Amino acid sequence: METTLRVKGLRQLHRALKDYDDGLKRELEAELRAAGEIVAADARTRFLGVDARSAAGFKSKVRGFGRVVVQQSRRRTTGLRGDFGSLQMRRALLPSVNENQARVLETVEGMLDRLGRKEGF
């Protein structure tokens, strides 16, 4: 059960920026992390009533070439509940991605526009 929001050409842009200017690559990654944080913040709010400690562990990370993931950063503590990961996905992460898809796309588009204007593209 995976929900993915894809922006075509982002991987190629990430690679090109890495070759062009490493500072731009880092700026792109920071902006992408911020876009993922929209989903992470909403997921934390949704899961707060179930387990506040676990809700605090939802983090946005950039992996590879422009791939942003929102994941649980806390390690498993008891192992007594085998469906806890599934519960986090159903209650917090998937609804958060679905609800915030438009905001994330607007954030990424705005970021690309800002980078383009700044660098004269």
Residue 31 and residue 23: Cα distance in Å, rounded?
12
90 in a structural domain: yes
For residue 62, the cross-strand partners are: 68
pTM of the model: 0.74
Give the total number of structural domains in the chain.
1
pLDDT tens track for 21-32: 667 778 878 888
For residue 67, the cross-strand partners are: 63
104 in a structural domain: yes
5 in a structural domain: no
**Distance between start and end Cα atoms, the chain:** 38
pLDDT tens track for 76-94: 766 677 778 788 888 899 9
Section 8-24 average pLDDT: 68
98 in a structural domain: yes
3-state secondary structure 42-92: HHHHHHCCCCHHHHCCEEEEEECCCEEEEEECCCCCCCCCCCHHHHHHHHH
3 in a structural domain: no
